[in-house]
């Protein structure tokens, strides 16, 4: 009873105080402000991303703002039915100055998280850590109507709902081609870059799996929306 009473008091105080303090809250910490791809990946930001998964219209509105700011290029598509239905997916064509090896199909939340990751991690870290702009991301695909590891008795993969992207490498303006398969084990600047962006990606996606997870991920990073910051 005391716990419930304390919780009610905390909620009441939050309702009264948060609107008064809203003007002082930095981006990423204001629970009432609309989400932006430039918001830092705080707990509040994760909560907003999770909420948008159930509100396609609101999610697409945030994507439209990101497109207007030059953070992402995409085409909105209609929902699909069948064995692996998709709710308001989008086809992502690039992230600002960063091109893709090919466009990919994504749920709206995956597209948003990917734009945040590129904007706040992969793109700026290439400049600061490697001294050359990131110009392309190579990936192995996103949507695939299948079970996990194609096992007949397993549950549907995140790829079956376009909620996961497999990234294999990053290309820089100076011609360097940084691949997860080759550079991940190396103790050099390119290897350090991969480890840095992998660790930072854990803040933007529900789960991030890499070469240290198992041999199936030896050559790519798996960025998925299930979970809440799983990083392996």
CB-count exposure of residue 84 (10 Å: 0-12, 13-18, 19+): middle
SS3 79: coil
- Percent share of the chain, pLDDT over 90: 67
For the segment 191-214, the average pLDDT, to the nearest whole number, is: 96
Phi (first) and psi of residue 158, to 5 degrees: -60, -30
pLDDT tens for 110-151 read 999 999 999 999 999 999 999 999 999 999 999 989 877 767
Residue ranges per structural domain of the chain: 36-78+88-147+158-231
d(CA 90, CA 63): 10
Residue 153 has pLDDT above 80, yes or no: no
Query: Residue 72 has what pLDDT?
Result: 98
* Token pair belonging to 137: 């991301």
For the segment 96-107, the average pLDDT, to the nearest whole number, is: 97
Task: Place 172 in a pLDDT band, splitting at 50, 70 and 90.
Answer: very high
Residue 50 has pLDDT above 90, yes or no: no
Task: Place 5 in a pLDDT band, splitting at 50, 70 and 90.
Answer: low
Task: Place 9 in a pLDDT band, splitting at 50, 70 and 90.
Answer: low
For the segment 156-184, the average pLDDT, to the nearest whole number, is: 95
Residue 174 has pLDDT above 90, yes or no: yes
d(CA 39, CA 31): 12
What pTM did the predictor assign? 0.86
Residue 184 has pLDDT above 60, yes or no: yes
Query: Residue 54 has what pLDDT?
Result: 84
Residue 52 has pLDDT above 70, yes or no: yes
- Percent share of the chain, pLDDT over 70: 88
């Amino acid at each position: 009873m005391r716990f419930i009473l304390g919780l009610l008091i905390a909620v009441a105080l939050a309702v009264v105080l948060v609107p008064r303090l809203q003007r002082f809250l930095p981006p990423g910490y204001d629970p009432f402000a609309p989400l932006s791809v430039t918001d830092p990946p705080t707990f509040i930001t994760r909560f907003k991303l999770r909420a948008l998964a159930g509100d396609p219209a609101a999610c697409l509105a945030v994507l439209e703002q990101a497109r207007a700011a030059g953070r992402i290029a995409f085409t909105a598509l209609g929902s699909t039915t069948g064995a692996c239905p998709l709710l308001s997916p989008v086809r992502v064509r690039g992230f600002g100055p960063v091109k893709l090896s090919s466009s990919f199909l994504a749920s709206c939340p995956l597209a948003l998280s990917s734009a945040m990751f590129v904007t706040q991690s992969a793109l700026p870290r290439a400049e600061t850590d490697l001294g050359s702009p990131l110009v392309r991301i190579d990936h192995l695909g996103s949507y695939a109507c299948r079970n996990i590891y194609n096992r007949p008795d397993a549950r549907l993969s995140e790829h079956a709902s376009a909620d996961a992207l497999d990234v294999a490498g990053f290309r820089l303006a100076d011609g360097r081609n940084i691949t997860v398969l080759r550079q991940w084990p190396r103790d050099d600047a390119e290897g350090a870059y991969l480890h840095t962006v992998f660790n930072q990606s854990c803040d933007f996606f529900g789960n991030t799996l890499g070469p240290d997870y198992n041999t199936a991920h030896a050559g790519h990073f798996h960025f998925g929306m299930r979970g809440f910051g799983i990083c392996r």
